[in-house]
Amino acid sequence: MASRKKKLQGLVAATITPMTEHGEINFSVIGQYVDYLVEEQGVKNIFVNGTTGEGLSLSVSERRQVAEEWMTKGRNKLDQVVIHVGALSLKESQELARHAAEIGADGIAVIAPFFLKPWNKDVLINFLKEVAAAAPALPFYYYHIPALTGVKIRAEELLDGIQEKIPTFQGLKFSDTDLLDFGQCVDQNRERQFAFLFGVDEQLLSALVMGATGAVGSFAFRDLSTLCSNLVLECRRRKPS
């Protein structure tokens, strides 16, 4: 059973993977990156090896090392580290999921496989379930990003009954502009304690109004938008239910 120690909410920074000019990962700046997020941006949750981090362009070995470095440098500074472990190969995805558990990550997220695509909800759920089972103690998030995966199965359809199939399911990272789908996800799962993390920064305010519990993004954490997002999230947190 996944440890539900703390719900992932509020702002979650999708981290870039720093590189040297020779195309190697620049591990030496990750410590400063943690300090920048925490001290200057007030963000204590991160999403590693996702789209912004170009996880799918890294080798499995690089993805493991990047995840380890964020865990090490974020210890006692960050609240939650979620690792994206999606891959075309189920075995690689499972290896990354197991690794995330071993290094003490707070959750894993998975996109739909995008070359030979799942052709319906059941096929997609079966893939996700196999990955989640490789890290049975970790909260699991489905990363819905149809514009990049080409997998158009609506998130609302996927969420219907998902916890019976994936007991560790804890939330959705929704990176699509279809606010109708997003709103239906929220509405139809009100009695569940899912995290609804919105991933299109430009529509964040609308998504918050509709019930997003947090945001994973790269762009919202700047200047005025940081302030706005934090304020709205704080208001939502205080709103009596």
Residues within the interface to ligand SI3 (CB under 6 A): 14, 47, 50-53, 175, 199-202, 216-219
- 3-state SS of 24-65 is CECHHHHHHHHHHHHHHCCCCEEEECCCCCCHHHCCHHHHHH
**Catalytic-residue membership of 173:** yes
Nearer to ligand SI3, 138 or 204 (CB): 204
**Residue 6 annotated to the active site:** no
Q: From CA 235, how far away is CA 216, in angstroms rounded?
A: 18
Determine the Cα–Cα distance for residues 78 and 195; give it in Å rounded to an integer.
18
Q: Which is it for strands 10-14 and 45-48: parallel, antiparallel or unpaired?
A: parallel
- Please identify which of the residues 5, 33, 173, 239 carries the catalytic annotation: 173
User: In 3-state terms, what secondary structure has residue 227?
Assistant: helix
Catalytic one among 143, 152, 165, 239? 143
Q: Check residue 111 and report its DSSP letter.
A: P
Using CB atoms, what's the residue nearest to ligand SI3? Answer: 50
Nearer to ligand SI3 (CB atom), residue 86 or residue 118: 86
Q: Which is nearer to ligand SI3, 1 or 224 (CB)?
A: 224
- Nearer Cβ to ligand SI3, position 136 or 203? 203
State in angstroms the smallest separation of the CB of 33 from ligand SI3. 14
Provide the minimum distance between the beta carbon of 165 and ligand SI3 in the complex, in angstroms, as a whole number.
23
Smallest gap from Cβ 11 to ligand SI3, in A, equals 11
End-to-end CA distance of the chain: 27
Alpha carbons 106 and 86: distance in angstroms, whole number: 16
Report, in Å, the least distance between residue 200 CB and ligand SI3.
5
Residues belonging to the active site: 143, 173
